[in-house]
Structure 1
């Protein structure tokens, strides 16, 4: 029987567990709270996220014992918000990861050094690059929950590892792309959350679809410049790179777009953070990417605008008036 350990209990983790169990994969699932574990074990539902989704209890083994969960499988999947990855990894011993394959599906930079999640996991847990993979979109957990047509990307330097993971995540409603560009795919997955916030702010300010189309077109160009500044010359004109950006920019399911819309309507950043019941990764991603772009000398007007609104507490209306003159 195929087996995997999942670290994280949010909506995205729940959606992935749904796919895995539908494929007959035994899922050893780490969750922080005993009440979540109890509800999943007894009812096959995550009480906090996608609680309408019925999971096959015969394939789910939830636990609050992270060491036990990791030791149970040869494949480990991290699906925690980037802001919580450090505190999660602080509980772990690299010895537990000997001879393990490690996947991540995390869309934000980590720590004060703004490290990519895959790089952070590799360094802290002493994982060889040939034993790593990332899982990316474009997709929203809510549509996976409803079996809506979805496209996933499995990315690894190890071709055999990429191929071995297809059966874990394939489904009648899912198409899978295989890539080897970890850096490009991961940065695209992080940057898309920033653009989700930007599009949400434009909606909150009532800019309209014409402006948003130009905003998104410029965002795609910003992403291309960012990857070029890292010496990653790839064709980003496919769903593995900009598909996630587009769905985050336009979907009503996008928590980052919703986060931005509340700011555009005039709500303060701290109040928005308290109001939302799920983490908007773009908040932390903005700071991490801004520092990265600044270090690289890469000019990114949209990213800078969102950084100034979120972290310098500048007026969204004023900053977007300035942005109007910096996009074409």
Structure 2
């Protein structure tokens, strides 16, 4: 099975590790940095992310030329932050995706278009939604590197496509399942990053565990409102793809979004927090785009509004926190 993974960050690296556990899979791994490509080809590990993971050279080959990486492949996994996806694949045409199934591992929205990644691939490259799927957690890259038990849900309108990729990802430390709620899972994955930002911000302000519990329970209400408005598909929001992914992102020590929010809550500017982390917090970009999408939907979304008002309107953090406390139930 031939698979192309686009993206050399920690999540892309984790997915390459998982996929390479399948001895029938052959992975073409594209990244922009030529030095990283050469390092992986020579020393068989990513020097910048999850560097302890060693890749079998007969199963994984790194590429710097994207068009070459897409030749003679059956699956394409997108593992680049949404804010940079459009630029990364700008040289590609619809013909480069013909006959391929696309799997998004991106938990964000294309900022310039305020589009879901799946919708962007449909419109920009003509990839039918039935030939697409998305990856939902709960699953942190760092725990994949340690081979700790993890869970992944593959969501796609075609159960056959979703199940086929779920089978490719299943290994001794990753359990997978397939569902058909692609829009619900995609929106939920976006919102959980925004909630993790809010969780970090309020924790940085000094809010305790009692408040965090209320915040997360209210977050599930917001997820329910958004996904039900976006799609009427059958779903169980208490399952791991929704509630589980939210919990691990909001609470885990490995959550970049929570760490980013925590710095904001402690007084960092957005710019200084980005510089210190040196990693992408998808929720920062996603909250602006999602806010633009849902503001006309007439939904009660206090956590999303709080996060947007703090990060983009740059309103008083303490004032917005006071408003948020009174809006939660």
Give TM class, smaller chain.
Answer: over 0.9
Using the TM superposition, give the Cα deviation of residue 22 of structure 1 relative to its aligned residue in structure 2, in angstroms. Answer: 1.4
- Secondary structure at the aligned position of 1:240 is classed as helix
Q: Is the Cα–Cα contact under 8 Å of residues 256 and 282 in structure 1 kept in the other structure?
A: yes
1:266 aligns with 2:267: yes
Using the TM superposition, give the Cα deviation of residue 91 of structure 1 relative to its aligned residue in structure 2, in angstroms. Answer: 1.4
1:20 aligns with 2:19: yes
CA distance in 1 between counterparts of 2:318 and 2:145 reads 36
Q: 5+ residue gaps in structure 2? A: none
**Mapping of residues 120-199 of structure 1, within 5 Å:** 120-199=120-199
CA distance in 1 between counterparts of 2:215 and 2:305 reads 13
CA distance in 2 between counterparts of 1:100 and 1:321 reads 49
Deviation track 1:103-147 (CA, whole Å, cap 9, x = no partner) reads: 111011113331100111121111112211111111110001111
Q: Hey, what does 2:96 align to over in structure 1?
A: 96
Q: Taking structure 2 as the reference length, what is the TM-score of the superposition?
A: 0.97
CA distance in 2 between counterparts of 1:19 and 1:191 reads 25
- Secondary structure at the aligned position of 1:58 is classed as coil
Deviation track 1:213-271 (CA, whole Å, cap 9, x = no partner) reads: 00000011011111222243633111111211110100010000000000111111121
Aligned Cα root-mean-square deviation (Å): 1.2
**Mapping of residues 211-226 of structure 1, within 5 Å:** 211-226=211-226
Deviation track 1:188-226 (CA, whole Å, cap 9, x = no partner) reads: 000010011111112111111000000000011011111
**Mapping of residues 231-246 of structure 1, within 5 Å:** 231-232=231-232, 234-246=235-247
CA distance in 1 between counterparts of 2:130 and 2:55 reads 32
CA distance in 1 between counterparts of 2:229 and 2:73 reads 38
- Secondary structure at the aligned position of 2:281 is classed as coil
Moved segments of 4+, more than 6 Å: none
Q: Is the Cα–Cα contact under 8 Å of residues 22 and 56 in structure 1 kept in the other structure?
A: no
1:5 aligns with 2:4: yes
Between 143-152 and 269-278, report the one with greater CA deviation.
269-278
CA distance in 1 between counterparts of 2:226 and 2:155 reads 19
User: Between Structure 1 and Structure 2, how many residues are aligned?
Assistant: 327
Q: Hey, what does 1:71 align to over in structure 2?
A: 71
CA distance in 2 between counterparts of 1:167 and 1:231 reads 26
CA distance in 2 between counterparts of 1:39 and 1:10 reads 14
Between 169-178 and 183-192, report the one with greater CA deviation.
169-178
CA distance in 1 between counterparts of 2:70 and 2:298 reads 40
CA distance in 1 between counterparts of 2:154 and 2:32 reads 27
CA distance in 1 between counterparts of 2:231 and 2:119 reads 17
Deviation track 1:154-203 (CA, whole Å, cap 9, x = no partner) reads: 11122222222233101111111210011000000000100111111121
CA distance in 1 between counterparts of 2:13 and 2:112 reads 29
CA distance in 2 between counterparts of 1:49 and 1:231 reads 36
CA distance in 2 between counterparts of 1:23 and 1:56 reads 11
